[in-house]
Chain A
């Protein structure tokens, strides 16, 4: 019985998605209810799985033994247990919240169908016990993310954002696939536990491991939106806000980190790969934090903040501390989902206005949203006692112990995080209301505020040792404790504290009472022009290729081949037609000459 729970968790959302897509597209209420019910059941099943035993159960999928063998298998271990709780827990809250948020949407059924499809794919990644299965679900997550970002596909920007997300993901996935194939070639298996078992017996060149690790990391770069493929995540905010909360903050983007934690046993064999991962992560963190300081769209600020926090997690993987990464993933999922849902509540109350400069004074209008949002804010900037503080400090501590450069960037990012989040808070919730909509804003119904409250409680306490410890399981909590026992705890505590105070202080001083942004840094506002650089790069490459192709087509194919051949035939005909001079006797004469010549050749030669 117990072994069936993981399969139930995996397949129930699929059933729901199929039912909705095939039969219930017209009945909005039923499909929403079905989707919510399914995800609630998976949450219950996940809790059962969580308190149950570890284990694996698999069925053959591609069985060509002894050549190769790929099973469909589900793994229950501490890593997947905590991820299951995060995905189904936040999934449930987001589903309930969506009931209100999407109430007036005509294609509500499609939305819930796609949400179920996403849950299926994400749970597939979480439960997968081998690379091939993970890759399949990895792509499915990409598809469902595409569908959900493009939910309002009649809006051009949404359709483009969906395409962008999908394409950026595909680039990463290509590397991921190559990485999988390299590991498969080397170890002869795709199953994680088998790879782990045979790894000590294999002799691979160091370069091979480095390249394979970095290719696998490519997948995470795409899915977890790390530099240089981070460009899709801010645009993905075109999707409905619950989607942003569930997919682009808490779960899908965390899949990259989760995957890296899953295969960290392999990546840790290569010091070079670890260094690259750590630096890419922290570079993304600081880059995104800088961009966030100048954004005006509330969801975009949160999106950049997500990028930045994902950077921390990836960096932790690179610091050989997957426990710390998973810890931060765990806490971040709660407070970032909370912040997004809070932002969604504000946007809903503001009639789909997302510009923070048009808000202001909302703390008086939307009391519950304000309180819960504040909890998320305090957790994100790492206030002592809130969940974000503990997990971020573990990462920074690990950085202090291993790589001072990464640590320095990490502290600067912490400062920036506090700064831009304070900016967001001050501009949105304090001061005077700056628009008609803000005057009339009010809290949403209880189905909207209840998930916020639950998440607020979780955001506060998810980091406490006796809460996070059991959630993360023995291995990871021990690893985290080991980091905490290491040197530098006070240095890190003081420095992050100073960064926090500095960020909050400067944010308050700069922004309280302002009606428009007092500082303007175009470089940050325009996201370091990375989108433009990509556009120019891609446009340039395409232009070049197109010009080349045009010349080839024009001169080689059209010119030499098509026109050349037809010209040859025409020219031959043109020359030969002068023989047709129209004199019958002339023809007869030529004929006679021919006969004479033939006779001469046949008889006299």
Chain B
């Protein structure tokens, strides 16, 4: 059995769905954060897959792979900021539970 684009896209969609499900359902903010990363990487996977299967003159379309590097870079920066916020939040509230962090609601 050869791996086709659809297999990759299926895995990517699965990863995205798992990530989304985690963001929707989990209450621990660190888990939610990790699920967000999962969703980003799902997107990365589909980009790489598209790149690999969309040949131009016998070569992959590297535009997509360059975009993936950008996403990884941004994700790294985002992790740095996001984790810092979470640490600050924890120091202030002694909790990482999102249901306890709702003081902006009416």
Contact = CB atoms under 8 A, between A and B. Distances in A.
Interface in B38-73: none
Interface string A568-605: 00000000011011111100110010000000000000
Interface of B: 20, 23-25, 32, 98-99, 101-102, 104-106
27 contacts: A577-B106, A578-B106, A580-B104, A580-B105, A580-B106, A581-B105, A581-B106, A582-B102, A582-B104, A582-B105, A582-B106, A583-B98, A583-B99, A583-B102, A584-B32, A584-B98, A584-B101, A584-B102, A585-B23, A585-B24, A585-B25, A585-B98, A588-B23, A588-B24, A589-B24, A592-B20, A592-B24
A580 B20 CA distance: 21
A589 B102 CA distance: 16
**Number of chain A interface residues as a range:** 10 to 19
A532 B101 CA distance: 75
A580 B104 CA distance: 8
A581 B98 CA distance: 13
A582 B103 CA distance: 7
Interface in A403-451: none
Interface of A: 577-578, 580-585, 588-589, 592
B89 to A, nearest CB: 12
Nearest to B103: A582
A352 B49 CA distance: 116
A580 B106 CA distance: 6
A580 B105 CA distance: 5
Contacts of B99: 583
Contacts of B106: 577-578, 580-582
Nearest to B36: A588
A237 to B, nearest CB: 73
Contacts of A581: 105-106
Specify which of A581, A588, A589 lies most central, judged by the most chain B CB atoms within 10 Å of its CB.
A588
Contacts of A585: 23-25, 98
Contacts of A578: 106
B32 to A, nearest CB: 8
Contacts of B25: 585
Given A577-B106, A583-B99, A583-B102, 7 more contacts: A580-B106, A581-B105, A582-B105, A585-B24, A585-B98, A589-B24, A592-B24
Contacts of B102: 582-584
Contacts of B101: 584
A588 B22 CA distance: 11
A577 B104 CA distance: 10
A583 to B, nearest CB: 7
A348 B98 CA distance: 97
Nearest to B23: A588
B102 to A, nearest CB: 3
Contacts of A577: 106
A588 B99 CA distance: 13
Contacts of A589: 24
Nearest to A585: B24
A581 B24 CA distance: 15
